[in-house]
Amino acid sequence: MSTTDQNFSLPSAGQADWDSDLNGNFTIISRGYHTLATAGVDIATGQIVTVNSDGLARLFDPNSLTNQPHLFAYKAVNSGEQDTFLLQGMVRSLAIASPAIPGHTLFASATGSAYVVTSYSAADRPVGIATYEDGFFFSPGRAIFPEFLTDSAEVSAVTGSSHLFQLDGGAGGFVRHLTAIGNSADLVEVQLWSNSARTSPLYETISGGVSVVGSFRDQAGFPFWNTDASTISGAIYGTLQVLSASTVGSDTIGLSVGFERFR
């Protein structure tokens, strides 16, 4: 006989040797708190799962706004089978957190595999932290405060031509400022897009001139959301053009963008 959630073995009264049952129970206690769930798909060891309204456990999708990380599979479970999953606790010896720095937050992979990764640009809901000796403490939650970061790009621009660049600001957030620094007084147009085809615009500005002293800085700010289905990342796609009214034929222009990343 066993308990429902923790799957503790309950030895019968008068059993001669309880050592194996007790050792197994202590191992379960050491790992954390578990619960029973029925797999709706094949689930591999080390994957994070979510429990849907139908009561079935399926792979967690961090790119879905409605998905939440609920359970961790410390062993493989076939579709249709009922087994115990980790609800909160420690996992070791699965080599899932080997690249991680102890104390750093871990996430589910953005590629849809539901495996644990140390970080990625579109990270949203954290699933735990790395601990000493490749340990992983599974404790799913949601990031509350935005992360402040700056990304930059350098463009060797030719007057009259459109030049492409890419920034990593997260899948969603708010742009606080955009700064462009060049070597001559050029009239520069900067556009940002949410997709790699550069058909879904986020932002557009035209400077009054870019120079080393008194660089062009736009702090109007705007929210953004990555809509590029072909690239699961936090990429924002840019276009820069030195307009034909400029007095120089080419220029190297540095771009710096400050982000508040929400996911």
Residues 209-256: pLDDT tens digits?
Answer: 665 554 677 777 888 877 666 656 778 899 988 776 556 667 788 888
Residue 81: the pLDDT is: 94
Measured CA angle at 111 (ends 109, 117), to 5 deg:
20
What is the tens place of the pLDDT at every residue in 66-99? Answer: 788 999 998 899 999 999 999 999 887 666 655 6
Number of H helices, E strands in the chain: 1, 18
With a cut of 80, say whether residue 263 has pLDDT above it.
Answer: no
CA-atom Rg of the chain in angstroms: 25
Q: DSSP assignment, residue 183?
A: S
Distance CA 43, CA 37 (A): 12
Strands 162-168 and 235-242: antiparallel
Residue 99: the pLDDT is: 65
If we measure between CA atoms, which residue out of 96, 34, 83 comes closest to residue 57? 83
CB 224 within 8 A of CB 236: yes
More confident residue, 218 or 177: 177
Q: Provide CB contacts within 8 A for 107, sequence distance 6+.
A: 62, 116, 117, 118, 119, 120, 123, 124, 125, 126, 127
Read off the pLDDT band of 262 (50, 70, 90).
Answer: confident
If we measure between CA atoms, which residue out of 44, 115, 118 comes closest to residue 78? 44
Q: Is 100 helix (H, G, I), strand (E, B) or coil?
A: coil
